[in-house]
Amino acid sequence: MISQLLQPYLSYIALGSAVLSVVCLILAIAAISANRRMRRRLQQWKAIGSATDLEDVFTSTTQAVAALRQKVSETEASLHDVQAELKTKVSTPAMRRYNAFAEVGSDLSYSVALLDDVGDGVVLTSIYGRDDSVTYGKPVQGGDSDYLLTAEEQSVIRAVIQNKTADKVAVKTS
């Protein structure tokens, strides 16, 4: 009686059994793979002969981490010092060529600004004339000089300062 009742569903039962078998096979392969990984890890731990060896490993690891932290701290301090020094070094000079005299037909005169991050440094100007050439150097502090700056000198100072962070130095124009 039961066999007659199940007769129309035998193909579905067989298909379900096959799918269930495939799923069980996949799970068995995954379990075997996990078991192999665990055995490899166990072999690594077995290489440590005793609890004292494990304590030695822990101690040496702790010492290595402490040494690395010390080196990182020293490196950060050194980097901070380098960054502070770098602010006082000339960076990104600006140059402007121009014609200082109408009778000289080319842009042979020039002004160069060499400033650090706070706007301190020097501006060099060379004026080329038909008969002679004159070079001037003017100290610059905070983007300004105690000496009278020409429009060309002011423009190269402004160009250097604008290449840096705008809020570090304010250019004084008078």
Q: Domain-by-domain residue ranges, the chain?
A: 50-86, 94-163
Does 86 have pLDDT greater than 70? yes
> What distance in Å separates the CA atoms of residue 160 and residue 89, rounded to the nearest whole number?
13
Structure tokens at 136: 């001037």
pLDDT at 174 over 60: no
| Per-residue H/E/C for 14-71 | HHHHHHHHHHHHHHHHHHHHHHHHHHHHHHHHHHCCCHHHHHHHHHHHHHHHHHHHHH
pLDDT at site 70: 96
Sign of CA dihedral 36, 41, 42, 46: positive
Mean pLDDT over the full length of the chain: 85
Give the per-residue pLDDT at 165: 41
Residue 166 has pLDDT above 60, yes or no: no
Out of 48-52, 75-79, 159-163, 164-168, which region has the weakest mean confidence (pLDDT)?
164-168
More confident residue, 142 or 171: 142
Distance from C-alpha of 137 to C-alpha of 145, rounded to nearest angstrom: 11
- pLDDT at residue 56 is higher than 70: yes
In this predicted structure, the answer to whether residue 66 has a pLDDT above a threshold of 90 is yes
Q: Is pTM beyond 0.85 here?
A: no
Query: pLDDT grade, residue 57 (50/70/90)?
Result: confident
